[in-house]
Amino acid sequence: MSSYQASGYWYSEGDSVPEAVDLLNLMRRYREAERRMRAATRGSMGMNETDMSALRFLLAAHREGVTPRQRDFAEELGISNASVSVLIDRLCRDGYAERVVHPADRRSVGIVPTDYSDTEVRGTLHRMHEQMMDAVGTLSEDERVAVAKFLEAMIRSVEIDDEPRQPSAGKGAVRESALPSR
Amino acid sequence: MSSYQASGYWYSEGDSVPEAVDLLNLMRRYREAERRMRAATRGSMGMNETDMSALRFLLAAHREGVTPRQRDFAEELGISNASVSVLIDRLCRDGYAERVVHPADRRSVGIVPTDYSDTEVRGTLHRMHEQMMDAVGTLSEDERVAVAKFLEAMIRSVEIDDEPRQPSAGKGAVRESALPSR
DNA sequence: GCTAATAGTTAGCCTGTCTAAATATATTCT
DNA sequence: AGAATATATTTAGACAGGCTAACTATTAGC
Protein backbone atom coordinates (compact mmCIF):
# COMPACT_ATOMS: atom_id res chain seq x y z
CA MET A 1 0.00 0.00 0.00
CA SER A 2 1.03 3.52 -0.80
CA SER A 3 4.09 2.71 -2.79
CA TYR A 4 6.26 5.72 -3.14
CA GLN A 5 7.15 6.35 -6.76
CA ALA A 6 9.74 9.06 -7.05
CA SER A 7 8.74 10.16 -10.53
CA GLY A 8 6.20 7.58 -11.60
CA TYR A 9 3.33 8.13 -13.93
CA TRP A 10 0.48 6.31 -12.37
CA TYR A 11 -2.08 7.11 -14.99
CA SER A 12 -0.23 5.42 -17.85
CA GLU A 13 1.03 2.33 -16.05
CA GLY A 14 -2.42 1.12 -15.20
CA ASP A 15 -1.66 -1.15 -12.29
CA SER A 16 -0.85 1.06 -9.29
CA VAL A 17 -3.24 3.78 -8.21
CA PRO A 18 -1.94 6.62 -6.02
CA GLU A 19 -3.27 6.68 -2.48
CA ALA A 20 -4.07 9.66 -0.32
CA VAL A 21 -0.63 9.86 1.18
CA ASP A 22 0.93 9.80 -2.28
CA LEU A 23 -1.09 12.83 -3.28
CA LEU A 24 -0.02 14.71 -0.17
CA ASN A 25 3.57 13.82 -0.94
CA LEU A 26 3.10 15.17 -4.45
CA MET A 27 1.71 18.37 -3.01
CA ARG A 28 4.77 18.66 -0.81
CA ARG A 29 7.08 17.98 -3.71
CA TYR A 30 5.35 20.64 -5.77
CA ARG A 31 5.63 23.15 -2.96
CA GLU A 32 9.33 22.43 -2.62
CA ALA A 33 9.96 22.63 -6.35
CA GLU A 34 8.12 25.90 -6.63
CA ARG A 35 9.94 27.32 -3.66
CA ARG A 36 13.28 26.39 -5.19
CA MET A 37 12.25 27.87 -8.50
CA ARG A 38 11.20 31.15 -6.93
CA ALA A 39 14.37 31.22 -4.86
CA ALA A 40 16.43 30.75 -8.01
CA THR A 41 14.61 33.56 -9.80
CA ARG A 42 15.00 35.78 -6.80
CA GLY A 43 18.65 34.86 -6.47
CA SER A 44 19.37 35.54 -10.11
CA MET A 45 17.81 38.97 -9.71
CA GLY A 46 19.58 39.60 -6.42
CA MET A 47 16.35 40.21 -4.56
CA ASN A 48 14.81 39.07 -1.33
CA GLU A 49 11.40 37.45 -0.94
CA THR A 50 9.45 40.53 -0.02
CA ASP A 51 10.90 42.70 -2.76
CA MET A 52 10.09 40.01 -5.29
CA SER A 53 6.49 39.82 -4.12
CA ALA A 54 6.27 43.58 -4.28
CA LEU A 55 7.58 43.58 -7.83
CA ARG A 56 5.11 40.92 -8.93
CA PHE A 57 2.29 42.89 -7.33
CA LEU A 58 3.48 46.05 -9.05
CA LEU A 59 3.63 44.42 -12.48
CA ALA A 60 0.20 42.86 -12.05
CA ALA A 61 -1.31 46.19 -11.05
CA HIS A 62 0.39 47.97 -13.89
CA ARG A 63 -0.92 45.49 -16.44
CA GLU A 64 -4.40 46.39 -15.24
CA GLY A 65 -3.77 50.07 -15.65
CA VAL A 66 -3.55 50.79 -11.93
CA THR A 67 -0.83 52.86 -10.31
CA PRO A 68 -0.53 51.60 -6.73
CA ARG A 69 0.54 53.77 -3.81
CA GLN A 70 2.96 52.69 -1.13
CA ARG A 71 0.03 52.19 1.15
CA ASP A 72 -1.25 49.45 -1.17
CA PHE A 73 2.05 47.63 -0.93
CA ALA A 74 1.90 47.70 2.85
CA GLU A 75 -1.54 46.12 2.80
CA GLU A 76 -0.69 43.55 0.13
CA LEU A 77 2.56 42.44 1.74
CA GLY A 78 1.50 42.73 5.35
CA ILE A 79 4.39 44.98 6.37
CA SER A 80 4.42 48.49 7.81
CA ASN A 81 4.34 51.68 5.80
CA ALA A 82 7.82 52.49 7.01
CA SER A 83 9.17 49.22 5.69
CA VAL A 84 7.46 49.81 2.36
CA SER A 85 9.15 53.16 2.11
CA VAL A 86 12.56 51.51 2.36
CA LEU A 87 11.46 48.67 0.08
CA ILE A 88 10.50 51.12 -2.66
CA ASP A 89 13.85 52.81 -2.14
CA ARG A 90 15.49 49.50 -3.01
CA LEU A 91 13.31 48.87 -6.06
CA CYS A 92 14.06 52.36 -7.39
CA ARG A 93 17.76 52.13 -6.61
CA ASP A 94 18.02 48.86 -8.57
CA GLY A 95 16.07 50.16 -11.52
CA TYR A 96 12.91 48.10 -11.14
CA ALA A 97 10.49 50.91 -10.31
CA GLU A 98 10.03 54.64 -10.27
CA ARG A 99 8.21 57.05 -8.00
CA VAL A 100 5.77 59.38 -9.71
CA VAL A 101 3.35 61.91 -8.31
CA HIS A 102 0.01 60.25 -7.81
CA PRO A 103 -2.50 61.83 -10.16
CA ALA A 104 -5.36 61.81 -7.70
CA ASP A 105 -3.66 62.54 -4.39
CA ARG A 106 -0.58 64.66 -4.03
CA ARG A 107 0.15 63.22 -0.61
CA SER A 108 0.71 59.88 -2.26
CA VAL A 109 3.53 58.56 -4.36
CA GLY A 110 2.51 56.47 -7.35
CA ILE A 111 4.74 53.53 -8.16
CA VAL A 112 5.31 52.38 -11.74
CA PRO A 113 7.51 49.53 -12.97
CA THR A 114 10.29 50.21 -15.43
CA ASP A 115 10.37 48.42 -18.78
CA TYR A 116 13.47 46.68 -17.57
CA SER A 117 11.71 45.04 -14.62
CA ASP A 118 8.89 43.82 -16.83
CA THR A 119 11.18 42.02 -19.26
CA GLU A 120 13.31 40.73 -16.41
CA VAL A 121 10.40 39.06 -14.67
CA ARG A 122 8.75 37.91 -17.87
CA GLY A 123 11.84 35.85 -18.64
CA THR A 124 11.25 33.70 -15.59
CA LEU A 125 7.95 33.68 -13.77
CA HIS A 126 5.90 34.40 -16.84
CA ARG A 127 7.45 31.47 -18.68
CA MET A 128 6.71 29.20 -15.74
CA HIS A 129 3.11 30.32 -15.81
CA GLU A 130 2.79 29.50 -19.50
CA GLN A 131 4.30 26.09 -19.00
CA MET A 132 1.79 25.39 -16.28
CA MET A 133 -1.08 26.49 -18.46
CA ASP A 134 0.12 24.23 -21.26
CA ALA A 135 0.50 21.32 -18.89
CA VAL A 136 -2.97 21.70 -17.43
CA GLY A 137 -4.38 22.13 -20.91
CA THR A 138 -3.79 18.46 -21.61
CA LEU A 139 -6.23 17.34 -18.91
CA SER A 140 -9.67 16.14 -19.86
CA GLU A 141 -12.81 17.70 -18.46
CA ASP A 142 -13.30 14.88 -15.99
CA GLU A 143 -9.73 15.20 -14.85
CA ARG A 144 -10.05 18.93 -14.33
CA VAL A 145 -13.16 18.35 -12.25
CA ALA A 146 -11.31 15.84 -10.11
CA VAL A 147 -8.40 18.21 -9.60
CA ALA A 148 -10.72 21.04 -8.67
CA LYS A 149 -12.47 18.80 -6.16
CA PHE A 150 -9.13 17.84 -4.68
CA LEU A 151 -7.86 21.39 -4.40
CA GLU A 152 -11.11 22.60 -2.86
CA ALA A 153 -10.77 19.90 -0.24
CA MET A 154 -7.18 20.88 0.46
CA ILE A 155 -8.12 24.52 0.86
CA ARG A 156 -10.91 23.62 3.25
CA SER A 157 -8.52 21.47 5.25
CA VAL A 158 -6.13 24.27 5.95
CA GLU A 159 -8.74 26.99 6.21
CA ILE A 160 -11.17 25.71 8.80
CA ASP A 161 -8.43 24.28 10.88
CA ASP A 162 -9.23 26.48 13.87
CA GLU A 163 -12.78 25.30 14.42
CA PRO A 164 -13.04 21.62 13.64
CA ARG A 165 -16.54 21.26 15.09
CA GLN A 166 -19.59 23.55 14.80
CA PRO A 167 -20.00 23.58 11.03
CA SER A 168 -22.83 26.06 11.28
CA ALA A 169 -20.76 28.68 13.04
CA GLY A 170 -19.45 29.66 9.65
CA LYS A 171 -16.56 31.53 11.16
CA GLY A 172 -13.27 30.65 12.61
CA ALA A 173 -11.17 30.79 9.51
CA VAL A 174 -7.86 32.36 10.30
CA ARG A 175 -8.20 35.92 9.13
CA GLU A 176 -5.14 37.56 7.70
CA SER A 177 -5.56 40.81 9.53
CA ALA A 178 -5.97 39.11 12.86
CA LEU A 179 -2.59 37.46 12.84
CA PRO A 180 -0.16 38.44 15.53
CA SER A 181 2.53 39.87 13.31
CA ARG A 182 5.35 38.76 15.55
CA MET B 1 -14.91 31.09 -20.51
CA SER B 2 -13.02 30.52 -17.35
CA SER B 3 -15.62 31.81 -14.98
CA TYR B 4 -14.10 32.53 -11.63
CA GLN B 5 -16.05 30.85 -8.87
CA ALA B 6 -14.87 32.04 -5.51
CA SER B 7 -15.89 28.91 -3.66
CA GLY B 8 -17.87 26.94 -6.18
CA TYR B 9 -18.13 23.19 -6.35
CA TRP B 10 -17.87 22.38 -9.98
CA TYR B 11 -18.15 18.67 -9.65
CA SER B 12 -21.61 18.68 -8.12
CA GLU B 13 -23.19 21.39 -10.25
CA GLY B 14 -22.68 19.55 -13.46
CA ASP B 15 -22.84 22.38 -15.92
CA SER B 16 -19.61 24.35 -15.58
CA VAL B 17 -16.25 22.63 -15.90
CA PRO B 18 -13.15 24.32 -14.49
CA GLU B 19 -10.62 25.43 -17.07
CA ALA B 20 -6.86 25.50 -16.79
CA VAL B 21 -6.71 28.97 -15.36
CA ASP B 22 -9.25 28.04 -12.70
CA LEU B 23 -7.04 25.20 -11.53
CA LEU B 24 -4.04 27.49 -11.32
CA ASN B 25 -6.11 29.93 -9.31
CA LEU B 26 -7.07 27.11 -6.97
CA MET B 27 -3.42 26.22 -6.58
CA ARG B 28 -2.68 29.81 -5.69
CA ARG B 29 -5.54 29.91 -3.24
CA TYR B 30 -4.34 26.75 -1.59
CA ARG B 31 -0.81 28.12 -1.29
CA GLU B 32 -2.11 31.30 0.29
CA ALA B 33 -4.37 29.45 2.70
CA GLU B 34 -1.59 27.13 3.75
CA ARG B 35 0.82 29.99 4.20
CA ARG B 36 -1.70 31.80 6.42
CA MET B 37 -2.30 28.66 8.40
CA ARG B 38 1.39 28.10 9.01
CA ALA B 39 1.84 31.75 9.87
CA ALA B 40 -0.94 31.47 12.41
CA THR B 41 0.56 28.37 14.00
CA ARG B 42 3.94 29.98 14.07
CA GLY B 43 2.52 33.16 15.51
CA SER B 44 0.63 31.31 18.21
CA MET B 45 3.84 29.59 19.21
CA GLY B 46 5.84 32.80 18.97
CA MET B 47 8.27 31.35 16.48
CA ASN B 48 9.79 32.43 13.21
CA GLU B 49 9.69 30.48 9.97
CA THR B 50 13.10 28.84 10.25
CA ASP B 51 12.68 27.76 13.85
CA MET B 52 9.33 26.22 12.96
CA SER B 53 10.86 24.25 10.09
CA ALA B 54 13.64 23.13 12.39
CA LEU B 55 11.14 21.93 14.96
CA ARG B 56 9.16 20.01 12.37
CA PHE B 57 12.35 18.40 11.12
CA LEU B 58 13.36 17.51 14.66
CA LEU B 59 10.01 15.91 15.45
CA ALA B 60 10.01 13.94 12.20
CA ALA B 61 13.52 12.65 12.87
CA HIS B 62 12.66 11.77 16.43
CA ARG B 63 9.60 9.80 15.38
CA GLU B 64 11.93 7.71 13.24
CA GLY B 65 14.27 7.09 16.12
CA VAL B 66 17.02 9.35 14.82
CA THR B 67 18.83 11.92 16.94
CA PRO B 68 19.99 14.65 14.54
CA ARG B 69 23.09 16.74 15.07
CA GLN B 70 23.26 20.48 14.51
CA ARG B 71 25.05 19.78 11.28
CA ASP B 72 21.93 18.00 9.96
CA PHE B 73 19.84 21.07 10.69
CA ALA B 74 22.22 23.25 8.73
CA GLU B 75 21.91 20.99 5.71
CA GLU B 76 18.14 20.57 5.98
CA LEU B 77 17.42 24.25 6.42
CA GLY B 78 20.11 25.59 4.15
CA ILE B 79 21.63 27.89 6.75
CA SER B 80 25.12 28.03 8.24
CA ASN B 81 26.35 26.03 11.21
CA ALA B 82 26.73 29.22 13.17
CA SER B 83 23.12 30.16 12.60
CA VAL B 84 22.02 26.68 13.63
CA SER B 85 23.93 27.06 16.85
CA VAL B 86 21.92 30.14 17.75
CA LEU B 87 18.72 28.54 16.46
CA ILE B 88 19.16 25.58 18.81
CA ASP B 89 19.84 28.06 21.59
CA ARG B 90 16.40 29.51 20.95
CA LEU B 91 14.65 26.12 20.79
CA CYS B 92 16.28 25.08 24.08
CA ARG B 93 15.59 28.41 25.77
CA ASP B 94 11.89 28.15 24.86
CA GLY B 95 11.60 24.55 25.98
CA TYR B 96 11.10 22.86 22.62
CA ALA B 97 14.37 20.92 22.49
CA GLU B 98 17.31 19.73 24.54
CA ARG B 99 20.96 19.19 23.81
CA VAL B 100 22.32 15.76 24.69
CA VAL B 101 25.73 14.25 24.16
CA HIS B 102 25.80 12.40 20.90
CA PRO B 103 26.42 8.72 21.58
CA ALA B 104 28.75 8.15 18.64
CA ASP B 105 30.71 11.38 18.41
CA ARG B 106 31.61 13.53 21.34
CA ARG B 107 32.25 16.53 19.12
CA SER B 108 28.60 16.50 18.20
CA VAL B 109 25.57 17.53 20.14
CA GLY B 110 22.46 15.41 19.72
CA ILE B 111 19.16 17.29 19.62
CA VAL B 112 15.99 15.79 21.04
CA PRO B 113 12.52 17.33 21.20
CA THR B 114 10.78 17.77 24.54
CA ASP B 115 7.40 16.19 25.18
CA TYR B 116 6.01 19.69 25.33
CA SER B 117 7.03 20.54 21.76
CA ASP B 118 5.51 17.35 20.44
CA THR B 119 2.09 17.97 21.92
CA GLU B 120 2.28 21.64 20.97
CA VAL B 121 2.86 20.89 17.30
CA ARG B 122 0.48 17.94 17.24
CA GLY B 123 -2.34 20.27 18.22
CA THR B 124 -1.97 22.20 14.99
CA LEU B 125 0.00 20.84 12.08
CA HIS B 126 -0.78 17.25 12.85
CA ARG B 127 -4.48 17.94 12.91
CA MET B 128 -4.24 19.70 9.58
CA HIS B 129 -2.48 16.69 8.14
CA GLU B 130 -5.22 14.37 9.32
CA GLN B 131 -7.90 16.59 7.87
CA MET B 132 -6.14 16.52 4.55
CA MET B 133 -5.86 12.76 4.62
CA ASP B 134 -9.56 12.47 5.38
CA ALA B 135 -10.44 14.86 2.60
CA VAL B 136 -8.36 13.07 0.02
CA GLY B 137 -9.75 9.77 1.21
CA THR B 138 -13.10 10.62 -0.35
CA LEU B 139 -11.67 10.70 -3.87
CA SER B 140 -12.25 7.77 -6.22
CA GLU B 141 -9.41 5.91 -7.86
CA ASP B 142 -9.93 7.72 -11.15
CA GLU B 143 -9.93 11.05 -9.37
CA ARG B 144 -6.72 10.25 -7.54
CA VAL B 145 -5.09 9.32 -10.83
CA ALA B 146 -6.19 12.61 -12.36
CA VAL B 147 -4.84 14.58 -9.40
CA ALA B 148 -1.53 12.75 -9.53
CA LYS B 149 -1.26 13.49 -13.23
CA PHE B 150 -1.97 17.14 -12.58
CA LEU B 151 0.55 17.45 -9.78
CA GLU B 152 3.24 15.67 -11.77
CA ALA B 153 2.68 18.16 -14.56
CA MET B 154 2.89 21.08 -12.16
CA ILE B 155 6.13 19.78 -10.70
CA ARG B 156 7.64 19.35 -14.13
CA SER B 157 6.57 22.88 -15.05
CA VAL B 158 8.47 24.47 -12.24
CA GLU B 159 11.38 22.05 -12.28
CA ILE B 160 12.59 22.10 -15.87
CA ASP B 161 11.86 25.74 -16.21
CA ASP B 162 15.49 26.74 -16.54
CA GLU B 163 16.37 24.70 -19.58
CA PRO B 164 13.46 24.47 -21.98
CA ARG B 165 15.59 23.54 -24.99
CA GLN B 166 18.90 21.72 -25.52
CA PRO B 167 18.72 18.99 -22.90
CA SER B 168 22.36 18.14 -23.54
CA ALA B 169 23.77 21.63 -23.20
CA GLY B 170 24.15 21.24 -19.47
CA LYS B 171 24.57 24.96 -18.93
CA GLY B 172 22.58 27.81 -17.65
CA ALA B 173 20.66 26.07 -14.93
CA VAL B 174 20.68 28.01 -11.70
CA ARG B 175 21.87 25.49 -9.19
CA GLU B 176 20.55 25.74 -5.67
CA SER B 177 24.00 25.66 -4.12
CA ALA B 178 25.27 28.27 -6.51
CA LEU B 179 22.87 30.95 -5.41
CA PRO B 180 24.36 34.21 -4.28
CA SER B 181 23.12 34.19 -0.73
CA ARG B 182 22.46 37.88 -0.68
C1' DG C 1 51.92 11.50 18.69
C1' DC C 2 51.42 15.04 14.93
C1' DT C 3 48.47 16.83 11.50
C1' DA C 4 44.32 17.48 9.12
C1' DA C 5 39.43 17.30 9.19
C1' DT C 6 34.99 17.94 11.58
C1' DA C 7 31.38 19.92 15.09
C1' DG C 8 30.13 23.55 17.54
C1' DT C 9 30.55 28.32 19.67
C1' DT C 10 31.45 33.18 19.77
C1' DA C 11 32.14 37.91 17.93
C1' DG C 12 31.15 41.41 14.72
C1' DC C 13 28.59 42.85 10.74
C1' DC C 14 24.51 43.44 7.50
C1' DT C 15 19.75 43.39 6.04
C1' DG C 16 15.04 43.91 6.75
C1' DT C 17 11.71 44.43 9.84
C1' DC C 18 9.35 47.34 13.58
C1' DT C 19 7.59 51.69 16.31
C1' DA C 20 7.54 56.53 17.12
C1' DA C 21 8.05 61.07 15.63
C1' DA C 22 8.24 64.49 11.84
C1' DT C 23 6.47 66.47 7.46
C1' DA C 24 3.29 67.42 3.71
C1' DT C 25 -1.07 67.27 1.77
C1' DA C 26 -6.44 66.50 2.02
C1' DT C 27 -10.75 66.75 4.09
C1' DT C 28 -14.21 68.40 7.25
C1' DC C 29 -16.44 71.49 10.32
C1' DT C 30 -17.93 75.97 11.69
C1' DA D 1 -11.59 81.11 4.93
C1' DG D 2 -9.29 78.98 8.94
C1' DA D 3 -8.73 75.43 12.29
C1' DA D 4 -8.76 70.79 13.42
C1' DT D 5 -8.28 66.26 11.97
C1' DA D 6 -7.03 62.50 8.92
C1' DT D 7 -3.96 60.36 5.54
C1' DA D 8 0.61 59.24 3.01
C1' DT D 9 5.19 59.07 3.37
C1' DT D 10 9.82 59.64 5.38
C1' DT D 11 13.33 59.39 8.88
C1' DA D 12 15.61 57.74 13.13
C1' DG D 13 16.64 54.27 16.28
C1' DA D 14 16.15 49.51 17.89
C1' DC D 15 15.90 44.52 17.26
C1' DA D 16 16.09 39.82 15.17
C1' DG D 17 18.18 36.55 12.50
C1' DG D 18 21.11 35.64 8.96
C1' DC D 19 26.39 35.59 7.46
C1' DT D 20 31.70 35.01 7.73
C1' DA D 21 35.82 34.42 10.27
C1' DA D 22 38.29 33.02 14.13
C1' DC D 23 38.55 29.85 18.07
C1' DT D 24 38.00 25.37 20.87
C1' DA D 25 37.22 20.44 21.30
C1' DT D 26 37.19 16.06 19.34
C1' DT D 27 38.20 12.48 15.87
C1' DA D 28 40.74 10.17 12.04
C1' DG D 29 44.88 9.33 9.20
C1' DC D 30 49.60 8.51 8.79
**Whole-angstrom Cα distance, residue A70 to residue A76?**
10
Instruction: Note the helical H segments in chain B.
Output: 10-13, 20-45, 49-63, 70-77, 81-93, 115-121, 127-137, 141-159
Residues 8-37 of A with CB under 8 A from B: 9-11, 17-24, 26-27, 29-31, 33-34, 36-37
B70-95 pLDDT tens trace: 999 999 999 999 999 999 999 999 99
Mean pLDDT of chain A: 81
Q: H or E stretch including A152?
A: helix A141-159
Look up the pTM and report it.
0.77
Nearest CA in chain A to B13: A145
A34-63 pLDDT tens trace: 888 888 888 888 899 999 999 999 999 999
The integer distance in angstroms from the CA atom of A64 to the C1' atom of D6 is 29
- Whether any strand D atom is under 7 angstroms from the Cβ of A119: the reply reads no
Residue B8 per-residue DSSP state: -
Cβ-based contacts of B152 with chain A (< 8 Å): 7, 9, 26
Q: Which nucleotide is nearest to B83 (CA to C1')?
A: D18
The answer to which of A6-10, B32-36, B165-169 has the lowest mean pLDDT is B165-169
> How many percent of chain B have pLDDT more than 90?
52
**Whole-angstrom Cα distance, residue B109 to residue B100?**
6
Using the beta-carbon criterion (under 8 Å), do B149 and A11 form an inter-chain contact?
yes
Residue A82 at interface with chain B, using a CB cutoff of 8 Å: no
What is chain A's Cα-based Rg?
21
Q: For residue B8, what pLDDT is reported? A: 52
Q: For residue A163, what pLDDT is reported? A: 47
A58-94 pLDDT tens trace: 999 999 999 999 999 999 999 999 999 999 999 999 9
Q: Which nucleotide is nearest to A87 (CA to C1')?
A: C16
Most confident of A6-10, B26-30, B165-169: B26-30
